[in-house]
Structure 1
Amino acid sequence: MSTDAQQQWKAWREERTGAVSAPYGPLSLTGTHWLADHPDRRIPAVPGEWREEGETVLLTAAAPDGLTVDGRPLDGEVRLTPDGGPGTARVAHGGRRLLVLRREGLWAVRVFDPDAAARRAFAGIDVFDHDERWVLPGRFRPYDSARTVTVENADGRERGLGLAGELAFDLAGEEHTLRVATEADGSLWAVFADGTSGTSSYRFRFLRPPAPDARGRVTVDFNRALLPPCAFAEHFICPFPPPGNTLTVEVPAGERNSRTR
């Protein structure tokens, strides 16, 4: 491995560990509460009344509840739309951030707590050694139109997973493919499993290649395979790999498991 590659690998690992262990990173998630499961409008251990109202969530609270919205105490009602992430969550309760989430028309509130037990117990991310043999030339083949498949999620429910095309690459002279989605910036996202899944690595992982060039060429670097958020906190709803995304070979590259003290 070249000095430049080693430095980039080390920097990526440090950045990734810092993001995971940040005060409002994935380790701090202590609950995902679907409003449909709480017809009384009360969420366990969260003050206020929360209810769906059209394209918004209506939150009602009194000053003694201790909720703040945009940094100001809430005493009355406020309409909320989905937050972009815990860093942009408008509602807080002390040090906790209460993120409003919408998935397939259903509303939820996520609780991020910097004092979460998982964050206190975190000791790092185990990874496979970097191996340049797992940096592969790839080819993105977009579908004629976007597709949606239904897959099981980590919380036991089935949800739609949007797919934009296939990512092809060669291993030992044989072509393999992963079904991928595209992000707003053109980069790709795959949920995959392989021969290491459930043994020497987590049961499935994410891969986020950069945007393909005009000819569909893209570098596939399995050294940067990621643990899904549900590897750090059980309250995430990560999708399982769609049909066709379980590789028949072992991929001993990238992140393996979250390590605790």
Structure 2
Amino acid sequence: MTFEQAWQQWRDEREAELRSPEGFLAITGLHWLGAQPQRFPGIPGAWSNAPEGAVVELGPGEWLELGGTTLAGRYVFGHVDPVGVVATFDAGTVEVADRFGTPVLRPRQPDGPFLRDYTGTPTYAPDPAWRVTADFTAYETSRPISVGSVVEGRSSVIDAVGEVAFEVGGRPQRLIAFDGGDDELWLLFTDETSGVTTYAACRQLAVEPPADGKAVLDFNRAANMPCAYTIHATCPLPPASNHIDVLVEAGEQTPPRPPAD
């Protein structure tokens, strides 16, 4: 497979993910649970953040399905993690997850406005010159780093596992790398295109596991975060130091984002 073919395969998979009826473009709301039971539009039950975690009280005729089990009455989801769980009901699904220490609900519908109106993501043309080899320096132990988020007043703590050092445009660069799972690295970064041709908050890059102290950064696969597409996202922001001080004219550009209904 040629470089261009491999990139096109990545683009096709990425677009399929974005257009999925279960993906983040299908999210139709972001609801923070409080101590008092509350109902939210289009979601069965009254929801609260109880001492035992997220709880739903389903009324007569209301139901949710979770892991093949039909729920009725009072159900305790407990102290969910950031990945959360997804329950289904007749009109769609609802994600129950933790965000910044508070349980949230994010309903999804296959006809949600952000998904319905999505027209595709523009990209730069693939260029092998943006496939850069970096030196990777692993930390002795992972370092929890507090970063901001697109949610005003909220911050996240994510595990940094090391740093990548490389050169682009004749200028040295160094970025903090986060744990991407399965020994992969995850980069959050801005560059001189941010807010011009690419999404202002940041882009992300998945990096295959380093080998012999080297990591390949293929900026042709720099991708937008969910917050570039929907107001119902809680994306972390990169540390201020994770700025590349040249134009990274590679990867995804700013997508059109029509207003939600």
Normalising by structure 1, what TM-score?
0.89
Q: Structure 1 residue 71: deviation in Å?
A: 4.7
2:183 maps to what in 1? 186
> CA separation in 1, counterparts of 2:220 and 2:152?
29
Deviations 1:117-159 (A, max 9, x none): 1111111110001011100111221223332333321121331
1:138 maps to what in 2? 134
Alignment of 1:230 with 2:227, yes or no, is yes
1:156 maps to what in 2? 152
> CA separation in 1, counterparts of 2:39 and 2:129?
49
Matched residue SS, 1:80: strand
Call closer, same or farther: CA 1:178–1:243 in 2, change over 3 Å: same
1:97-136 mapped onto 2 (5 Å cutoff): 97-136=93-132
Alignment of 1:22 with 2:46, yes or no, is no
Identity of aligned residues (%): 30
CA contact (8 A) 2:114 2:230 kept: yes
Call closer, same or farther: CA 1:53–1:260 in 2, change over 3 Å: closer
Normalising by structure 2, what TM-score?
0.89
The one-letter code of the counterpart of 1:32 is L
2:4 maps to what in 1? 6
Choose from 44, 49, 65 the match for 1:47.
Answer: 44
Runs of 4+ deviating beyond 4 Å: 83-86
1:56-135 mapped onto 2 (5 Å cutoff): 56-81=53-78, 82=80, 89=86, 91-135=87-131
Alignment of 1:244 with 2:241, yes or no, is yes
Q: Structure 1 residue 260: deviation in Å?
A: 5.9
Q: Structure 1 residue 210: deviation in Å?
A: 0.8
Q: Structure 1 residue 60: deviation in Å?
A: 1.6
The one-letter code of the counterpart of 2:25 is L
Runs of 5+ consecutive residues of structure 2 not aligned to the other structure: none
Call closer, same or farther: CA 1:55–1:174 in 2, change over 3 Å: farther
> CA separation in 1, counterparts of 2:198 and 2:222?
11
> CA separation in 1, counterparts of 2:179 and 2:257?
33
Matched residue SS, 1:51: strand
Runs of 5+ consecutive residues of structure 1 not aligned to the other structure: none
The one-letter code of the counterpart of 1:165 is G
Call closer, same or farther: CA 1:55–1:75 in 2, change over 3 Å: closer
Matched residue SS, 1:92: strand
> CA separation in 2, counterparts of 1:158 and 1:105?
10
> CA separation in 1, counterparts of 2:110 and 2:81?
18
> CA separation in 2, counterparts of 1:129 and 1:243?
28
